Every structure is written in C-alpha cells, then in structure tokens.
Chain A
Amino acid sequence: MIQQSSIAFPVTQTEELYQVQLPALLTVTEAIAFRAKCRELIEAKPTPTKIILDFAQTTFIDSSAIGALVMCLKAARSRQIELVLWSVKSEILTILELADLGQHFTIESKTIPLEPHPKPQIEATHPSVQSKTKRAIDIVGAMVGLGITAVVFIPIAIAIKLDNPGTILFSQTRCGHLGQRFQVWKFRSMVSNAEQLKAQVENQNEGAFFKNENDPRITRVGRFLRKTSLDEFPQFWNVLRGEMSLVGTRPPLPEEVDRYEIANWQRLNVKPGITGEWQVHGRSKIRNFEEVIQLDLRYQERWSLKYDLQLLLKTVMVLFRKDSAF
C-alpha cells in the first residue's frame, strides 16, 4: 500500500550522459518511481556512458531510497555505466556512511548549477577527500612508514614487554571522515590497565578531550616512545587502509564527537591525519578543546597539496626539536 507520489525526475541529456535531478526528499513514496526511472535510463539505447544523480536539492533519504540506490548502482555496473552522485549534502553523506555505503559510490562535489545560486550553506565532500594525488602520497608514505615500523618493531616490542607486561600494540576507536568509526593503532605507551585507571587521573584539559601531561599511567618506555613519536608509527597501517591520511585533523574519540555542538561537526569533513596543524602549531601545549577545533577548521580552509607537504616537512622538523612532545 505504498502510495506512489506523482513526483517527476527531470532528466537532462547530452549525448550519452544523463543527469537526473532528485527531489528534496527521496523516501519510500518516491522510491518506486525512482527505481523505474533508473531502470529506464540504464536500459536506454544507445547505452549511456554515465548517469549523474544530482542530489543538490536533496536533504533526506530513507532506507527505501538506499535500497533503490544500491539497485541502481548494481544495474549500472553490470552494463559498465558510470554512476556518479553529485552535490551530496553532508546530511545525505551521513546516512550513506551509516549504511556503510559511502565508499561504494562515486561522489563528486560540484553540480553544474541548475538554478542561479544554489545555497552554499552546506558544503559537499571536502576536496582533500577527493584528491587522488593526496591518496597516492598517502599510500607511498604509508608503505615507507610501515617499512620503518617493521625495522623498529622488534626492539620496541621487547622494550615494551620488559617494561610493563601486556600487549605491544594498543588500539582505540576513533572517528574518521564523517564520523565513521575505525580502530587506530599505536605502540602501547601506558600500563595495561590504563582505561580502568582513567577516572583516577585528573583531567587537565578544558572542554571535551582527555589528555594529561604527567599522567602516571605512562610507562618509562612509553614516555620515550611518545617523546620520539615512535608510538604513532603503527598508524601508517590506518593510512594504508584509507581510514586516515598522513596529514589531516586530529582523530577524535567517539565520546568527543557525541559532545560536539553542531558547528564542531564540520571537523569531520576531512580524513584525520597522523600529523596536522595541532602537531605543528601547538602539539600538546594546546589544552583547550576549542583551539583544536579552530586548528582543524583552519586546515580545511587552507588545504592544498602544497599545504599538506609543508605540514609534513614541519612535522619532521618539530620531531627533531627537543621540546616537541612533552
């Protein structure tokens, strides 16, 4: 008993390229018509080379729309038709990520404007996430980094084990691009039962994040690993997997994100990085959560490949300076 609304899906066609304008809400009432329209375009003769779904107007999709999009993607792939989602607002991206589909669709930020001025209030995917060059640098950098990690792994592992018995690596859930959760890996620098002891350690940070300079849970080897930043090296694995980038914003804990106010949510528009503004322009001297957010937003504004490379260079320089970590 699904009432089919009389919604139209305006199509613009140029040669073998179709652009479908999607409605403001793409839900169960529009899904059947949407599926039919997709099928019609996919089966059109001559077979189109590319179908663009223009999400510029769309502010909400539901599970029926997700099902229809998946159907459309599968059918398009089976005929070697490129399917691209255009001008996807962050609300829609959040829903696609929730469904674990964000990676499966090709999402492009810009739509050739159909109306004089589409409202710029919500930005589409940040260009840093789309840059293939940035991803290529990440892959090369991660492989070099993992190579170094492999060399230092055994001595570090022995040192960690001798100092404080327990695991060699430490993993923690962090939030990545658009809040998607992933496990970040580091060499363990705290005692094995650090999480249980957390409540006993005085929280010296203002706002929403946890860091304490003289944290008694840090082991001796851990202190050395942190000072030299060697503890961060396993994160090259996260970079290789695409969950992180070499340069980006600080990867927040899920509890931090849940406490964000709406403005802070913008932080998650880019991938988190092993290094970034907060490492180069502040490191642990920054105590205030708001400052971290500001640095993250500044990175988003200034981002370019050149800026990434500058931050990478500065990171290396900071590492060799004495007062880098604590």
Chain B
Amino acid sequence: MNNLVSTEGVIHFDRLIVQTDLTVIPQILSWFEAFQRFPVSQVVWLQGQIALVEGFTNAVRHAHAQFSKYTPIEIEAGIYPNRLEIRVWDQGSPFDLAELIDRVEQDYPNPLEHEVHWGAALFKKLKDQHGWNVEYSCSGEGQNCLSLIKFY
C-alpha cells in the first residue's frame, strides 16, 4: 500500500485493514473510539466518525462492488496538534467523487425529497459548513485514497 503520507508530529496514529464487507462497521466504530481524545473535540470526532463510515461504505458498495469480499480496504487515522486526518484506501476504478458531491445539493434542494445519496450530501455539508477537506484521489493504478482532513 502507498504509505508516503508523512506522520511527523503525530499524537496518535493507527491503521486498520478490513475486508470488503459491510458487517465490519461495528469493528471500525470501536477502532475509531481511540481517536476520541484531546485535542479532538467531541463534535469533530463525531463528524470524523460519520465521514469514516461513509468513506468505508462507499468503498464497499461502489469502488469494490465487483470485487471479492477478501479484497482489503485500508483505513488509517491520525491526530496531529492542529488537525485530524482520516484516510480510506480502496482498489476500485477511478471515480469523480468531487463531481458527485457538487451535484448532490442541486439534485435535492428539499431534504425531505431526498432518499438516496445522503452519503455524498453529508460529505458536502462537512466540506462547506464544517471546514472538512474531502478529497478522493485516484492513482489510475487501482489505488484510490479518500482523504478526510479537519484542521481544528
């Protein structure tokens, strides 16, 4: 896996490798509990929690839709003095997440008409209203990284 991300100055860092299987969500949630600590505020942690689960679910349901259950998904998170970083690595084909995020609000101006694509809507709100940096970078070599970064 691509481990070029620098972890200099990190306060707490951990990595979890899981299968392409939605039933591991409880395991991911309990793993992420260790990140509920200073200097991450409760609200940033809760936002990180939902973003992480949405990232993982997207990897399973979309990026790895055609893949075997044994295809690994790598998750890592790090608390730094000034930011919380979460990354989800998948091996699917390239996908333009930014375009979907931008489109979703136009498609559903009324939240009560909105029954699908809430994942993208949540990313959009985290990005626009809560200062999260949401990027999905695709290397084109079967290695995609969803990075979710929040500066406190």
Contacts and interface: CB of A to CB of B under 8 A. Distances in A.
Contacts of A60: 29, 49-50, 53
Given A28-B61, A64-B118, A98 B126 contact: yes
Contacts of B60: 1
Closest 4 CB pairs of A and B: A63-B118, A63-B119, A262-B42, A265-B42
Contacts of B114: 67, 70
Nearest to B65: A1
Contacts, number: 103
Given A25-B29, A62-B54, 4 more contacts: A25-B25, A62-B50, A259-B41, A260-B41
Chain B contact residues, majority secondary structure: helix
B140 to A, nearest CB: 25
A323 interface: no
B70 interface: no
A74 B46 contact: no
A1 B46 CA distance: 27
A100 B53 contact: no
26 contacts: A2-B61, A3-B21, A3-B23, A5-B23, A27-B57, A60-B53, A62-B25, A63-B54, A63-B122, A64-B118, A67-B116, A70-B112, A70-B115, A71-B115, A74-B112, A94-B43, A94-B46, A98-B125, A99-B111, A100-B111, A104-B111, A258-B152, A260-B42, A261-B41, A262-B42, A265-B42
Contacts of A5: 23
Contacts of A64: 57, 118-119
B26 interface: yes
Contacts of A74: 112, 115
Contact of B125 (A67, A99, A260): A99
A101 interface: yes
Interface in B19-46: 21-23, 25-26, 29, 36, 38, 41-44, 46
Interface string B89-127: 000000000000000000000011011101101100110
A266 B114 CA distance: 30
B90 to A, nearest CB: 15
A181 interface: yes
Interface residues of B, number: 37
A98 B25 contact: no
B48 to A, nearest CB: 12
Main secondary structure, interface of A, reads helix
* Chain A interface extent, by class: 35 or more
A91 interface: yes
A1 B67 CA distance: 10
